[in-house]
Amino acid sequence: MQTALTDLLGIEHPVMLAGMGGVSYAPLVTAVSEAGGFGCLGASTMGTDEMGAEMRAVRAATDKPFGVDLLTAATADLTPAVRRIIEGGASVFVAGLGVPRDVVELCHSRGVLVVNMCGKVRHAVLAVEAGCDIVVAQGTEAGGHTGQVATMALVPQVVDAVGDRVPVVAAGGIFDGRGLAAALALGAAGVWVGTRFIATPEARAVPGYKDTLLVTGEDGTTISRAYTGKTCRVIRNPYTQYFDDHPTELQPFPAQIRRSSADNAFHLGAPSDAEGIDPTKEFFPAGQGVGAIDELVGAAELVRRFVDEAEAALAAISSRVAL
Ligand SMILES: Cc1cc2nc3c(=O)[nH]c(=O)nc-3n(C[C@H](O)[C@H](O)[C@H](O)COP(=O)(O)O)c2cc1C
């Protein structure tokens, strides 16, 4: 399945692993890239040395392309981290929050592509004007920090605004090949998938996270500022309810992270065998597609399923719809 995205990234399938902080570490990134998708490390929860070690681990396991995602709003000067990303052999830098104007030229001078996460048309236009090479249009259905516009409405409007200049990738609530087929129909050149890849054996996740995803329905998430101070789609629980009931206690980003950590509710990025996690109040970012997840599936198998199901979905349209 070849698109403008697969051509630009040098990959086989238009399926990108979201650079999820606390989840997308070397084993998951390697599995997705080796399967012909695009693996992306989620470095927002990593120190610089840890990020370097994760990049070396990916490089040792595969020579396929991979990327690194940083939450740009969390870092004042991106240049040192981006230099490490370039030196580590990544072919793509993904800016998670905000347009990374200051580092676009640096990345391009070293042959590294810049991707920007966007929740609004205006963000996508600014990103492309700043020189970004790919935009991810992320709808509100998405797990993690998210905006208010739904994927179905956002993607075609971003495609109309910038799709003639850069590939647009759809994100938010996409969990199988039907979502990939729909994204292609909306004009996207591929998908950026988060939550579905958490429920894989390769993903890092604190105890209770994957189990919670398996039993949560499509209405079991909420957008809350309880964990980071920014609007974040997470599994709804008594902790998110507390801040719904006491909104004046919320601190702005990133101060609220100190509060949720002190409350023993924030362990994103902790090892899979971390102790003392209370799943009834823990920070479990998840998108609305969570209701469709009822088993762990290997990451490579997931990439294959996305492509096979998308091809089947596209073929099935012509048998179901008389044109
Ligand atoms: C656990 C988790 C952590 C995330 N961390 C980041 C991050 O550090 N940077 C970023 O750009 N996006 C982050 N996101 C958002 C994803 O990149 C992606 O846009 C989102 O997961 C797509 O929606 P989906 O979860 O419905 O597939 C995160 C999402 C999840 C679920």
- The model's pLDDT over 109-124, given as tens digits with 9 standing for 90+, comes to 999 999 999 999 999 9
Q: How far is the CA of 89 from the centre of ligand 1 (A)?
A: 22
Per the DSSP assignment, residues forming a β-bridge with 144 are 233
Which residue would you say has higher pLDDT here, 78 or 22? 22
Q: Which residues of 299-313 are buried (b: 16+ CB within 10 A; e: fewer)?
A: bbebbbbbbebbeeb
Strand 144-145: give its sheet, edge to edge.
144-145, 232-235, 221-224
What is residue 100's predicted lDDT score, i.e. its pLDDT? 87
> What CA–CA distance (Å, rounded) separates 130 from 283?
33
Pick the CATH number of 4-202+292-320 from 3.20.20.70, 3.40.630.30, 2.40.10.10, 3.40.640.10: 3.20.20.70
Confidence band (pLDDT; 50, 70, 90) for 203?
A: very high
Measured CA to CA, the distance from residue 157 to residue 187 in angstroms comes to 9
In contact, 166 and 186? CB cutoff 8 Å: no
Break the chain into its structural domains and give their ranges: 4-202+292-320, 209-290
Ligand 1 centre distance from Cα of residue 179 (Å): 16
93 and 107 Cβ atoms separated by less than 8 Å: yes
Ligand 1 pocket member 192 (CB < 6 A): yes
Round the average pLDDT of the chain to a whole number and report it. 96
User: Which H, E and C letters describe 149-167, residue by residue?
Assistant: CCHHHHHHHHHHHHCCCCC
Render 1-43 in DSSP notation, one character per residue: ---HHHHHHT-SSSEEE---TTT--HHHHHHHHHTTSBEEEEG
Mutation pick for ligand 1 pocket among 15, 16, 17, 20 (CB with most ligand atoms within 8 Å): 20
pLDDT tier, 71 (very low <50, low <70, confident <90, very high otherwise): confident
Specify the pLDDT at position 188: 98
pLDDT at 75: 55
| pLDDT of amino acid 110 | 97
- Taking phi over 0 as left and psi of -120 to 50 as alpha, with beta for the rest, 98 belongs to left
Pick from 112, 54, 53: nearest CA to 78: 112
Q: What pLDDT is stored for residue 153 in this prediction? A: 98
Query: What distance in angstroms lies between residue 318's CA and the mean position of ligand 1's atoms?
Result: 33
Percent of the chain with pLDDT over 70: 98
Instruction: Read off the pLDDT band of 74 (50, 70, 90).
Output: low
Say if residues 40 and 69 touch (Cβ distance below 8 Å).
yes
User: Does the C-beta of 25 come closer than 6 Å to ligand 1?
Assistant: no
- Identify the residue with better confidence: 121 or 47: 121
Tell whether the model's pLDDT for residue 79 goes beyond 80: yes
Cα(67) to centroid(ligand 1), Å: 14
> How many CB atoms are closer than 10 A to CB 10?
10
* pLDDT tens digits along 211-267: 999 999 999 999 999 999 999 999 999 999 999 999 999 999 989 999 999 999 999
| Bigger pLDDT: 319 vs 28 | 28
**pLDDT exceeds cutoff 80 at 73:** no
